[in-house]
A = this chain, B = another copy of it.
């Protein structure tokens, strides 16, 4: 951690869709060059260009590698490294001194599984020295170095996390994330025509939105920002001034909010798992923890006959791994494991939701009126989630967006970008 706050330093992340073509790279370089000439010290974090990551994943799949593999990480990391070097060249062509750094060169230290690593620290010595010498730093996101000297990746969207980690370590108060959407909306604007761009979102609310399935920000990046007090601006690469600022909002701002429900988030990548087994709840929970797979909407009921019923949602792509991790528990407890992959998850996100119990009732009632059956309700202060048939998921988002008046609060509706 550096000793003082670099108030003149900015950390800016550009997503792969903003760097796909050479013209786009040149446009990003012009933006960065303008800020460099205005006297800012700039760390740019980049994702792999365009479809690079998908192409590399396709290559690996042809060789039987589908994820969580050391060699896949070596391969995938080349995408961000090439992207960083390319943007650095484009900056130099504008006479802006620039140095690209891989994650390892940038001191991004990580731990954990390949494809799902966690940043443990950022050794900013080199970044600080390069900034000090008047260069723009262009860092390859998504990748870090582990204790073996191997490259490990953070999983998809991990470049956001890289940017926030660098901002946190450099004590830069605002991290700017430029992407292909205009910011954070009250619902996915591709689904709800009247979805409204939120000029600001509390970071706790954003964390729930990301976890509930909002794609605009990687949930770990949001959690890291919350932990280190970094504010995030999410904006479209071509409109750097606008977008949504994500930060901790004080109580006063919260009281002024006209409604406690701020957004509707949907997630189609969901399967509901139901486990009935004679086992201690602890055994089931430990088996799940060992799998390191994200689980949501967990619900446990112990029956009087010693049989427990567990219900939870998992990522649809994780169902095989979940089955595998629970196989022994199921076999030993002579139980059953059912997977329903025909559901989607629908969440309303806000603050103090449990303090006003009418929200859960309104949510289920509005869906019922629209003939959409809601199941597996779970709620917390910041989120109420239900599962609905996935064929009804998109319609359900619109129903709830209307029910909670998210469009009508202000007039500036924004169409799909």
Q: A-side interface residues toward B, CB under 8 Å?
A: 22, 25, 56, 59-60, 62-65, 69-72, 74-75, 77-78, 81-82, 84-86, 88-90, 92-93, 98-100, 102, 105, 126, 149-150
Contact = CB atoms under 8 A, between A and B. Distances in A.
Nearest to A56: B82
B64 A89 contact: yes
How many copies, total? 2
Contact of A89 (B65, B78, B85, B93): B65
Given A84-B74, A85-B74, A149 B105 contact: yes
A291 to B, nearest CB: 22
- Pairs of residues from A and B, 9 with the lowest C-beta to C-beta distance, nearest first: A75-B85, A78-B78, A74-B85, A63-B89, A64-B93, A71-B88, A78-B82, A71-B85, A65-B89
B56 A71 contact: no
Name the residue among A60, A64, A82 with the largest chain B CB count within 10 angstroms: A82
B59 A71 contact: no
Given A65-B89, A74-B88, 6 more contacts: A60-B89, A71-B89, A72-B89, A74-B100, A75-B81, A78-B85
A158 B90 CA distance: 26
Contacts of A81: 74-75, 77-78, 81
Contacts of A84: 74
A72 B88 CA distance: 9
Contact of A86 (B63, B89, B150): B63
B85 A64 contact: no
17 contacts: A22-B59, A22-B62, A59-B86, A63-B90, A63-B93, A64-B89, A69-B89, A70-B99, A71-B85, A71-B88, A71-B98, A74-B81, A74-B82, A74-B88, A75-B82, A78-B85, A105-B150
B72 A85 contact: yes
Contacts of A64: 89, 92-93
Contacts of A69: 89
A319 B56 CA distance: 39
Contacts of A100: 71, 74
Contacts of A59: 22, 86
Contacts of A85: 71-72, 74-75, 78
A64 B29 CA distance: 14
